[in-house]
Structures are given as C-alpha cells and as structure tokens.
Structure 1
Amino acid sequence: MQERKMQTFRDILDVLKMYDVYIHLGKRLWDIELAAIEVDNLAKAQVIDQSLYLKMKLVLEREHRQELEHPLAETYK
C-alpha cells in the first residue's frame, strides 16, 4: 500500500472504505470507537501493515479524546 497521510478521522474512514468498511452509527464518538475496532481487525488479519495501523490508532486516540472533551453534538444532526 502506498504511503498515505493520516491526520484526520476522515482519512481513517477513507482507508476503511478501501476495504468496504462503512461506518455511520449516528454519534461521532460511536463512529470513532467502531472505527478503532475495525482497524484492530484489519491489523489482526494482516490486511494493513503495522506502520499504517499505528498511524491510524494515534489519530483515533486523539479524535476520541477531543470528542470526549468537546462533543460535536451538531455533527450528525
């Protein structure tokens, strides 16, 4: 897989879509948590390499922390 920029939750969702994983639960926090599970599953199945996995997990951890501190309640209304 070519080197990808991995800076936002949208970047994570774009990678997941490449593997036919689409996430929309209705709350951004839930979406982030499910994305983390899916990323773990892709790594466990060796579909994504360790480098990409670590980048994705860092972004997801940051996004999760930010969402807990400042919920974007209006995001999915």
Structure 2
Amino acid sequence: MESLYDVQQLLKQFGIIVYVGKRIWDIELMQIELKKLYDSRLVDRDTYLSAWHILRREHHIEEGREQG
C-alpha cells in the first residue's frame, strides 16, 4: 500500500466510499472508518498501520496546502 488511492480501494472492499467534498475532510473520515475496521478485527495490524501512515502523510500535505 503506497497511496491514498490504495487506502480508498481497501475501504471500498468493505463497501466504504468516502466523499465529503473537501480532501482533508475525506482523509479524516477515512481515518475514522479505518480505525473502526481495525477495532472490529476486519483488517490486520500491518494493513492498518500502513494505511494509517498514508492517511497521516496525506493529511499533513493538505494542511500545508490550506495554510499557504
């Protein structure tokens, strides 16, 4: 797993499609949904951590774009 698209595809496997309209909000909602999947034991720890790091990275990038 290397990109936000890969995380979206992971969520899609569970019927989760996220589109709020603002990219940073989409990423935040994906983090919530990913945590729910992990807590429900539907994804393993390695998959969860890989996806979580991607979402954190993308969130940081979006924060930078919004600030200037």
TM-score, length-normalised on structure 1? 0.83
- Greater than 6 Å deviation, 4+ residue runs: none
Match of 1:3 in 2: none
Find 1:53's aligned residue among 42, 48, 51.
48
Segments of structure 1 that go 5 or more residues without pairing to the other structure are 1-5, 72-77
Match status 1:38 vs 2:36 = no
TM-score, length-normalised on structure 2? 0.94
What is the number of residues matched between the two proteins?
Answer: 66
Secondary structure of 2:18's counterpart equals: coil
- Structure number with larger C-alpha Rg: 1
Segments of structure 2 that go 5 or more residues without pairing to the other structure are none
Q: Tell me the percent identity.
A: 35
